Structure formats: C-alpha cells, structure tokens
Amino acid sequence: MSESAITIIAITTAKLGKEAALRAAQEDLVKETLLEDGCLRYELHESLDDDRVRIFVETWESESKWHAHMEGDAMRRFQAKGVGAFFADFALHRLTKIAG
C-alpha cells in the first residue's frame, strides 16, 4: 500500500528584532524546498495582524518525502543560519485530508 499525501502547517513567531532575519532565511528555505522531490506545495504566509507570525503551508507526496526534507540539505542550511535563536514560538501540525 502506498503512502498518502501529508499536509504540514508550521506556525512560527519571530522574536522582537529578529523578524527580518527570520523572514530572509524562511524565504530562502521556500525557494530551495520547492525543488525537492515529493514537494507538492510549500508556501510561506505572513499574518496581517502580527508581522512576527508566519505560517508554512506544505503538502508532500508522502510522510517519508516530508521526513527526507526535514533531514535534507535545505533544512540543514536553514538551521545553520542560527534560526533557532530567532523563534519566540513554533508549532507544527501534521495533517491528513478527511474531506473536500
């Protein structure tokens, strides 16, 4: 049996003063990730109410493709930029479609 597509919602909040640095790193990550095997959708959205809040909306062919992304070169380069110190908050939700 083949794996189903998986959607990821990652909600990030930048620390005060780190908004621009985090956004630049996130935009670079999007450019690289869109080229990865199994990536069907990889978008970065910014809250209209709080520009520190950005949300990744991702769809992958399978959970294994998403895991490969999380362990891949683009994510390693992203983390090497020190982005962990730029987050005030982070939440990740793995989703499966049930309707629509």
Segments of the chain scoring below 70 in pLDDT: 1-2
CATH number for the domain that contains residue 88: 3.30.70.100
Total domain count, the chain: 1
Neighbours of 26 (CB within 10 A): 20
How would you label 34-64 residue by residue, b for 16+ Cβ within 10 Å and e otherwise?
Answer: eebebbeebebeeeeeeebbbebebbbbebe
Domain containing residue 18: 6-95
Q: Is 1 inside a domain boundary?
A: no
- Identify the DSSP state of 36: S
Q: What is the DSSP letter of 5?
A: P
Reduced to 3 states (helix: H, G, I; strand: E, B; else coil), residue 12 is: strand
- pLDDT value at position 1? 40
User: What's the pLDDT at 100?
Assistant: 87
Is there a domain that residue 69 lies in? yes
Question: What's the rounded Cα separation, in Å, for the pair 77 and 45?
Answer: 21
